[in-house]
Chains A and B, each alone.
Chain A
Amino acid sequence: MTVELQLATAEQTLRSNDDRLVDLVDGLLSHGVVIRGELWLTVADVELVFLGVDLLLATPDKIKPTGAPA
C-alpha cells in the first residue's frame, strides 16, 4: 500500500509551479469575505427586478453598505 503524501507551507505553495499546488491556490482564491452586490431596478417605487452580482459594475460612490443579507 502506498500513499503519496506531500507537505508544503503557504509560502512554498505560492512559489511553486507544480500543477497540484497551483490548483490548490486556485481553490483558495474565492474564499474569505466576499462583498456581493444587490441591484434593484425600480419604477415608481415598485421593485421590478433584483440582480445579485458578485462582480460589482458600479462606481464606488454608488455602493453603500446595507449590513447582513436578509
Chain B
Amino acid sequence: MIALGWTKSKRTPPGVITCKGDGPIRILCAPPCSAISAHDRLTQQVRCFEAGLDFLPIAPLQSIPLRDATGFLSDARLSPLLDRLASKGQLTISLKLPMDKRRPVTGGRHWLIARKAHRDLCNEYEDILLGIANATDLPQSPVRRTAEAVQCDILVDRSTAHTLKARLMADLPARQELSQKDVLITGLWPAFGFADLPVMGTIAA
C-alpha cells in the first residue's frame, strides 16, 4: 500500500482508499496499482479531500510505502499540524509569465543582460502575486516559480472558500497592476503548501 497522508478523520475514505491504524492518527493508503505516478497519487488525495477528509498530505512526488509512513506516527509535530489544517484547504493562485521573447544569445554579455531582465520580470510578477495574497488577510505560502508562472497558495476554511473565490473574481479585474495579465485561481486543494513538515530517516552506512 502507498501512503497518501495522515489523518484524524473518522470518515470513510472514497473508492479504493483505506485508513490504516487504530490510534488517533491513521494513515490514508491507496493500492499500489492506483498510485503509480505522482499524478495518480495527487488525484487520489484530491478525491479524499473532496469526500470531506482532512489530512496531512504527503508530497505526491514521493511514493512512500505504508510501513515507512507508520514509522512517523509517533512524530509529535503531526497532531498539532493536523489540528491547524482541520477543515481547511488551499486556493492556488497562478500568474502567468509572459512568453520569453528573448532573441538567441549572441555572447556572454548578452546572456547576462537577458537573464537579469528575466529575473527582474519574475520579481515584478512575484510582487503582484503577493499583493493579491496579502489582500485576502489569510495565511499564504511562499511564492514559487514554475516554468511558466509564479504561484502561491492561500489557506482557507472549506466553508468560506466559495465566498473567497467569488470575491477574488469580482475584485481582481479592477486591479490596475493586473492589466494585460493572465491570472488562474484553482482549488480547493488539500493544503500541500502548508504541510511543511520535513521528516528525516537515517540510513546507516
Taking beta carbons and an 8 Å cutoff, which residues of A are in contact with B? 1-14, 19-21, 23-42, 54, 56, 58, 60, 62-69
Contact = CB atoms under 8 A, between A and B. Distances in A.
Given A28-B92, A65-B201, A21 B68 contact: no
Contacts of B182: 4, 6, 20
Contacts, number: 193
A24 B149 contact: yes
A7 B186 CA distance: 6
Interface of B: 5-6, 38-39, 42-43, 46, 49-50, 56-62, 64-65, 67-68, 71-72, 74-77, 92, 94, 96, 141, 144, 146-149, 151, 153, 165, 169, 172-173, 175-176, 178-190, 192-193, 195, 197-205
Contacts of A38: 200-203
13 contacts: A6-B185, A7-B165, A7-B185, A11-B46, A20-B182, A23-B147, A24-B184, A32-B195, A33-B59, A33-B199, A35-B72, A39-B205, A65-B200
A14 B57 contact: no
Contacts of B153: 31
Given A20-B184, A33-B5, A33-B57, A40 B74 contact: no
B4 to A, nearest CB: 9
Contacts of A31: 59, 141, 153, 192-193, 195
A6 B146 CA distance: 18
Contact of B178 (A3, A6, A65): A3
Given A1-B176, A25-B42, A28-B60, A33 B202 contact: no
A41 B205 CA distance: 5
Nearest to A59: B203
Contacts of B56: 32-33
A60 B66 CA distance: 10
B199 A36 contact: yes
Contacts of A36: 198-201
A61 to B, nearest CB: 9
Contacts of B193: 31
A66 B42 contact: no
Contacts of B141: 31
B146 A33 contact: no
A66 B107 CA distance: 50
